[in-house]
Chain A
């Protein structure tokens, strides 16, 4: 893609070190086998796969949270694969992340006000606390949280409110890229609908690029322009949602789509086995 904001080439990631005598013998388990991915400015890309497919590792290596064994990551024209912490710091504002479980990503000892103002001050987006608070009020209004939420702690909020706080924390820094890792999987369907709508609006208003990791293809279809399907550390298919859902090229994609239970009665559905293999579960 010509105007890719974020592009990875040949990403290989393995966890742990080689075991065995003097590090020889058994090699470290490889979780990404040479992955190529590009995300354009303002584009929302879904990354889907089953547990163990490498989708979370791919997301983390795009942000530099996991060091790849091989391959490059280029952000806005700069190779960021091997940047040290100091060189990476200016990028941190421009690349944000939202997690599955805000209970564990929001500090329970800090008020929501502290959680939202700290990164603004850290990155110098406001000269002082009062100015930072003005930005915080603006973002709270935008994500649909009352301003007095700043006095609350994360455990006092509902799941949907907590996820709005993580969205607020990410977008208040005016990033160019946000990684969202399974951010709606713990939510009720009505709350999920609200959070996804908000995310869709924000990405288009802010021209924000979003990598949206999910196991749920229906969710991906509803908010993403493109989708990347992963299996066992490899991309098995990628393309526009429209094409991939209409005519999936890979048998694995077809199997994932066929396995989604739609809320309609279809007596034959359970009996259709698709191409799944019983042995692997």
Chain B
């Protein structure tokens, strides 16, 4: 029996900038200990908003209107800012999308990596430096001393993403949020980074919430998937099942639009109009139900 690590229940959010338009519609998902859970969908699906809600960094124009996020028995949405800050980095860490902007351009890698180790793990400067070096070796960086002495601009995109992965996993968190972590990378580098995340995750028993727009990427790294459209969960299940026998028409449409080099005569199928109509009706019916429930 697997053990639950993160449980998101009926999470709802609206955009204050855009006429209180719903952007999350009672999203529920569960991530077990040691599971890589993928959230996949197109732009506007709300997948990044979920990641931000777990990290307590939803933008000011977004308001969470309901639901809970339980991590190890505590509702993150009810925690004080101080309690949440204590969890972040130590128990919950982020691997961001764009390795170019996630690092401070004016500080060397060793300063940036040792910050977290000293503050969150209480290591001395000397211990932190040794640990940072070991972490870079763990992500297969061959010359860790050169990388530690470098500024971010002196490293390639793949190298920077390795530094960020080493930093995230280095604090031995229980949950890593990976928000499109390979979108900015070349395919060969992407494959190495995916392999790295999977091997670190397996070695440390970390749970990963993996946000991506790419069905191919989630197929290779996720144990289970949540497929989202317009802030609503369309389908959930084991990766193999969702991809090989999708239950929802939206999942089927996503797969049919995806070009595949091994099947050049398929793919590029536009979403059938009747599927789009049904999707809009599904969202509208949901919003109507939510309004009725609210007004009793």
Contacts and interface: CB of A to CB of B under 8 A. Distances in A.
A281 interface: yes
Contacts of A281: 156, 158-159, 162, 188-189, 192
Nearest to A266: B220
A244 to B, nearest CB: 10
A128 interface: no
Contacts of B254: 189-190
Q: How large is the interface on A (under 10, 10 to 19, 20 to 34, 35 or more residues)?
A: 35 or more
B100 to A, nearest CB: 12
B26 to A, nearest CB: 23
A245 B194 contact: no
A251 B270 CA distance: 34
A217 B187 CA distance: 10
Given A188-B42, A263-B215, A263-B258, A279 B240 contact: no
B268 A222 contact: yes
B67 to A, nearest CB: 26
Given A50-B188, A265-B240, A281-B158, A189 B216 contact: no
A256 B195 contact: no
A51 B270 contact: no
A193 interface: yes
Contact of A218 (B162, B190, B259): B259
B244 interface: yes
B257 A193 contact: yes
A111 interface: no
Interface string B110-135: 00000000000000000000000000
B219 interface: yes
B142 A278 contact: yes
A45 to B, nearest CB: 15
Interface in B153-203: 156-159, 162, 186-192, 194-195, 198
Nearest to B194: A270
A271 B202 CA distance: 13
Q: Secondary structure of the B side of the interface?
A: helix
Interface in B13-50: 42-43
Nearest to A190: B257
Contact of B259 (A221, A266, A269, A271): A221
A264 interface: yes
Contacts of B157: 51
A265 B128 CA distance: 39
A145 interface: no
A188 B261 contact: no
Interface in B262-281: 262, 264, 267-271
B75 interface: no
B194 A215 contact: no
Contacts, number: 126
B194 A241 contact: no
Contacts of B269: 193
Contact of B220 (A188, A220, A270): A270
Contacts of B214: 261
B217 interface: yes
B268 A196 contact: yes
A222 B264 CA distance: 5
A50 B192 CA distance: 14
A214 to B, nearest CB: 10
B250 to A, nearest CB: 10
Contacts of B140: 278
Contacts of A217: 187, 261
A241 to B, nearest CB: 7
B255 interface: yes
A264 to B, nearest CB: 6
A119 B216 CA distance: 40
B243 interface: yes
A49 to B, nearest CB: 9
Contacts of B268: 193, 196-197, 222
Nearest to A51: B186
Contacts of B192: 276, 278, 281
A46 B215 CA distance: 23
B216 A260 contact: yes
B264 A241 contact: yes
B12 interface: no
B191 A261 contact: yes
16 contacts: A50-B186, A50-B188, A51-B186, A217-B187, A218-B260, A221-B259, A222-B264, A258-B191, A260-B187, A260-B261, A261-B216, A263-B243, A263-B260, A266-B219, A276-B191, A279-B142
Interface of A: 50-51, 188-190, 192-194, 196-197, 215-222, 241, 245, 255-266, 269-271, 273, 276, 278-279, 281
Given A262-B261, A278-B140, 19 more contacts: A190-B42, A190-B253, A190-B254, A193-B257, A193-B267, A193-B268, A197-B270, A221-B260, A221-B261, A222-B268, A258-B191, A261-B191, A261-B217, A261-B219, A263-B215, A263-B216, A263-B255, A265-B240, A270-B221
